[in-house]
Amino acid sequence: MPRLPGPLTLSRLDDTEALAARLAPILGPGDTLLLSGPIGAGKTAFARALIRARMENPSEEVPSPTFTLVQTYGDPRGTELWHADLYRLTGPDEAVELGLETAFDTAICLVEWPDRLGDLAPPEALGLTFAAGETAHLLTLAGPDPWPARLEAAGV
């Protein structure tokens, strides 16, 4: 995947929320964001902020799917959002059982620990790699066309 702008510095939760709010309106059915990085690097915080932005409700309850594996939401535009945490999966077969393969075509999918997808990871997905620094988190973006133009249009 070509590298996109960045790395971006996310010094505070507000920075993460602002980035998610810029990305939320440009997403539609069939878009997948692959959220990589170590525990505590900001993947869930980003997903939560993006879902709240799509739901147009900053206080929307958005639990981590660590134990349920997948949480789904229907936004006001009628688009389904899937938030998956694949940390506990051992391979792609389990992701298929969750229905992710179908969701990649019909929903906006936010996938934490996408390495568990193996070859199921959509090649057209936007990759977001989070790194925890001492005072800030860093975010590196990677994705094929048309992601560069879409991100530029969103002000990223």
Domain boundaries, the chain: 8-147
Question: What is the tens place of the pLDDT at every residue in 13-54?
Answer: 899 999 999 999 999 999 999 999 999 899 999 999 999 999
The pTM (predicted TM-score) of the whole model is: 0.92
Residues in the chain: 156
Q: CB burial class (10 A; 0-12, 13-18, 19+) of residue 13?
A: middle
Question: What is the tens place of the pLDDT at every residue in 96-147?
Answer: 899 999 999 999 999 999 999 999 999 999 999 999 888 889 999 999 999 9
Reply yes or no on domain 8-147 having CATH 3.90.1300.10. Answer: no
Identify residue 123 by its one-letter amino acid code. P
Q: What is the pLDDT of residue 125?
A: 97
Compute the distance between CA of residue 43 and CA of residue 47 in angstroms, rounded to an integer.
6
User: For residue 1, what pLDDT band results from cuts at 50, 70 and 90?
Assistant: low
Q: What is the pLDDT of residue 63?
A: 82
